[in-house]
Amino acid sequence: MPAPALIAIDWGTTRLRAWLMAGDGSVLAEHRSDDGLIEAQKKRFSTVYATTLEKLQAPAGLPAIICGMAGSRRGWIEAPYVPVPAPLSAVLKEAARVPQPGADIRIVPGLAQTTPDAPDVMRGEETQLAGAGLPVEGTHLVCMPGTHCKWVTVENGRVKTFGTWPTGELYALIAGQSILRHSLGEPPAAVAASSPAFAEACRTALAEGGDFSARLFSIRAGTLLNGLSPADAAARLSGLLIGAEIASALLHLPPLPARRVVLIASGPLAGLYAAAFTLAGFEVRSVDAEAAVRSGLYEAARQNGMVA
Amino acid sequence: MPAPALIAIDWGTTRLRAWLMAGDGSVLAEHRSDDGLIEAQKKRFSTVYATTLEKLQAPAGLPAIICGMAGSRRGWIEAPYVPVPAPLSAVLKEAARVPQPGADIRIVPGLAQTTPDAPDVMRGEETQLAGAGLPVEGTHLVCMPGTHCKWVTVENGRVKTFGTWPTGELYALIAGQSILRHSLGEPPAAVAASSPAFAEACRTALAEGGDFSARLFSIRAGTLLNGLSPADAAARLSGLLIGAEIASALLHLPPLPARRVVLIASGPLAGLYAAAFTLAGFEVRSVDAEAAVRSGLYEAARQNGMVA
């Protein structure tokens, strides 16, 4: 087995994923926990970090590279945002050092867009982007679904512009807490990417320029008047929100040279977004989000001279 | 003092408002409580009704007219939906009798729209409509803001078509429970109809065809990057959602002969929607929602021969 050389941590708001890596980036051990920002604020970041090393059975003194909310104002230390446009490699190099005696721990900064009409921020997704294997040349549209879905335009290795659509959060709130919860079931029924109800709602929303509010209540009325099933109700809500997001993003982002997207996702969202993009006439290249963040963390360590 | 002749109750999901009326519709006593549908399901509807009569000090044996969720499937009795298009006067006449020995209690039915691409329902707003004093002739666009805002086209006294925009519910969920709660303050800051931040966000949304999802996260980013105040953050969210609702409704409802709207509202929403409609170039006729529902209930009692 190759020697351990690096700790890599994706430290988000609610979750933490950590890997012990060899010098070539291969994974030797993995640890996942719910000690994200929120828990770490209670337990202290250095305590959660020590537990993580223990769980990984990491030898003492290894350098560590971190991305995500641990670098926010409410995090371990603040790794100040890098303003876009910015080359991804330069972003990684700005990793901020955690003042921990005897340890080389650095946190990758997030990105900020300071244009007055579309201010935006991201933390963690810049590392996924850096690890997604985008060709250095050309213009690429990247979509990263999640609680706050990020859309990014990358031009010749530089992040040009980006936007956030909080579709995951809207879905959770509407499905779990609005009047529609009576239609979707409690907990909400799961949605299959192959569902005809998903496709139909998605097509409708793709044609309506990002507006979904007009169609929400028809899901409730569908239950009351037509016996719409919980599975179909959930599929319609999901199709509506994802279709509207794609339509909205295409209106707000710079015009594209081609209908081609890099989709960085994992779990059920990967299938739902791939299906929605296909309905929108897009050619989709899918990248696993977890593999991307791991590669991005390794690349950040390399750029900062933490591994050879 | 004129003699009491009628009990009128607006019985919604969370609230109940009741009036003791004279034969000419004038109000002799009023009672408000939180014994809406949800509480009444626990306490029994007949118990809440008896308490209401007591609070109003109503003489025994008066007829009672009710509108709202008390007539839903989960209500006291179900007053089946009347399908649109339908003349408002005919809707009122369909009031369903509650089988309560020795008492004449009737519940006004809701409206259902069964068109396959826009199924919709309302309960309570049909009574507001009937009491809004719309001219019998002509085509009228009516907007009734609230948790589930209703938009209705009335043509020569007939409800032609309607739609629901759950803007109030979306605002409560996003302001209170999404990432934006950190920007708006807890509880969310109040919004003034005269706020420049409200007007600016509303204008932006009015021009974007019902899409608001692209602009939500910029409120959070505005706090992080530009120190946006809680009051301005709340005003922006409100302006965005109301502006988007108006833009969306205008796209989904039948084309209008003129930019003129009857706004049936009360409380802070009345001012916010009036301001938004003015920004959209509309001439607004404002009707107080509570006065409208009272008039509508009296009219329903009259149509059913319960008062002379």
Of B209, B225, B248, the CB nearest to A112: B225
Q: Please tell me the predicted confidence (pLDDT) of residue A272.
A: 98
- State the best of B211, B251, B252 to mutate against chain A, taking most chain A CBs within 10 Å: B211
d(CA B93, CA B83): 14
d(CA A7, CA A29): 10
For residue B47, the Cα-to-chain-centroid distance in whole angstroms is 26
Per-residue pLDDT tens for B69-89? 999 999 999 999 999 999 999
**Helix/strand/coil for A267:** coil
Q: Are B287 and B262 in contact (CB under 8 A)?
A: yes
Q: Could you give phi then psi for residue A51, rounded to 5 degrees?
A: -60, -40
Q: Please tell me the predicted confidence (pLDDT) of residue A281.
A: 97
CA-to-CA separations, A205 to A59, A171, B251, in angstroms, rounded: 52, 15, 13
> Of A117, A27, A122, A137, whose CA–CA distance to A82 is shortest?
A122
Q: Which residues of chain B make contact with A165, given a CB cutoff of 8 A?
A: 213-214, 216-217
- State the best of B170, B179, B217 to mutate against chain A, taking most chain A CBs within 10 Å: B217
> Of B250, B299, B254, B308, whose CA–CA distance to B277 is shortest?
B250
Q: Please tell me the predicted confidence (pLDDT) of residue B1.
A: 79
CA-to-CA separations, B53 to A107, B32, B57, B103, in angstroms, rounded: 67, 12, 6, 12
- Interface contact B218-A177, CB threshold 8 A: no
For chain B, 308 residues long, the average pLDDT of each consecutive 10-residue run is: 95 96 97 96 97 96 97 95 96 95 95 95 97 95 97 97 98 97 95 97 97 97 96 98 98 91 96 98 98 98 94
For residue A262, the Cα-to-chain-centroid distance in whole angstroms is 13
CA-to-CA separations, B36 to B171, B194, B302, in angstroms, rounded: 22, 33, 25
Residue A28 burial by Cβ neighbours in a 10 Å radius (0-12, 13-18, 19+): middle
Neighbour-count burial for A258-275, b at 16+ CB within 10 Å, e otherwise: eeebbbbbbeebbebbbb
Of A163, A165, A169, the CB nearest to B178: A169
Of A179, A225, A247, the CB nearest to B169: A179
d(CA A238, CA A170): 10
- Interface contact A248-B214, CB threshold 8 A: yes
Q: Tokens for B25?
A: 């519709």
Flag whether residue B252 sits within 8 Å of chain A, measured between CB atoms: yes
d(CA A62, CA A2): 14
Q: Please tell me the predicted confidence (pLDDT) of residue A222.
A: 97
Per-residue pLDDT tens for B234-287? 999 999 999 999 999 999 999 888 999 999 999 999 999 999 999 999 999 999
Residue type, B221: A
Q: Which residue has the tokens 């980013």?
A: B221
**Residue A85 preceded by cis peptide, ω within 30:** yes
Q: Tokens for B57?
A: 């000090």
Flag whether residue B38 sits within 8 Å of chain A, measured between CB atoms: no
Q: Which residues of chain B make contact with A174, given a CB cutoff of 8 A?
A: 170, 173
Of A81, A165, A166, the CB nearest to B179: A166
Q: Are B295 and B25 in contact (CB under 8 A)?
A: yes
Q: Could you give phi then psi for residue B67, rounded to 5 degrees?
A: -135, 165
Beta-carbon contacts of residue B111 (< 8 Å; ≥ 6 apart)? B81, B82, B83, B84, B86, B91, B121, B122, B125, B126, B159, B162
Distance in Å, alpha carbon of A62 to nearest chain B alpha carbon: 33
Flag whether residue B172 sits within 8 Å of chain A, measured between CB atoms: no
Q: Which residues of chain B make contact with A152, given a CB cutoff of 8 A?
A: none
Q: Please tell me the predicted confidence (pLDDT) of residue A239.
A: 98
**Helix/strand/coil for A96:** strand
The answer to ipTM > 0.85 is: yes
- Interface contact A218-B120, CB threshold 8 A: yes
Please provide the distance, in angstroms rounded to a whole number, between the alpha carbons at the two ends of chain A: 18
Beta-carbon contacts of residue A68 (< 8 Å; ≥ 6 apart)? A9, A10, A11, A12, A13, A37, A123, A124, A127
Q: Could you give phi then psi for residue B233, rounded to 5 degrees?
A: -65, -45
d(CA B244, CA B211): 6
**Distant-in-sequence contacts of B101-104, Cβ < 8 A, 24+ apart:** B102/B61, B103/B61, B103/B63, B103/B64, B104/B63, B104/B64, B104/B306
For chain A, 308 residues long, the average pLDDT of each consecutive 10-residue run is: 95 96 97 96 96 96 97 95 96 95 95 95 97 95 97 97 98 97 95 97 97 97 96 98 98 91 96 98 98 98 94
**Helix/strand/coil for A19:** strand
Flag whether residue B253 sits within 8 Å of chain A, measured between CB atoms: no
- Interface contact B213-A73, CB threshold 8 A: no
Residue A120 burial by Cβ neighbours in a 10 Å radius (0-12, 13-18, 19+): buried
CA-to-CA separations, B211 to A170, B161, B223, B280, in angstroms, rounded: 14, 23, 22, 16
Of B173, B218, B244, the CB nearest to A213: B244
**Helix/strand/coil for A268:** helix
Q: A156: phi > 0 → left, psi -120 to 50 → alpha, else beta; which?
A: left
Task: Note which residues in 141-160 of chain A have CB less than 8 A from chain B.
Answer: 148
Q: Please tell me the predicted confidence (pLDDT) of residue B257.
A: 82
- Chain A residue with CA closest to B72: the answer is A224
- State the best of A217, A219, A223, A250 to mutate against chain B, taking most chain B CBs within 10 Å: A217
Task: Note which residues in 188-227 of chain B have CB less than 8 A from chain A.
Answer: 208-214, 216-218, 220-222, 224-226
d(CA A132, CA B85): 55
Q: Which residue has the tokens 């876009």?
A: A84
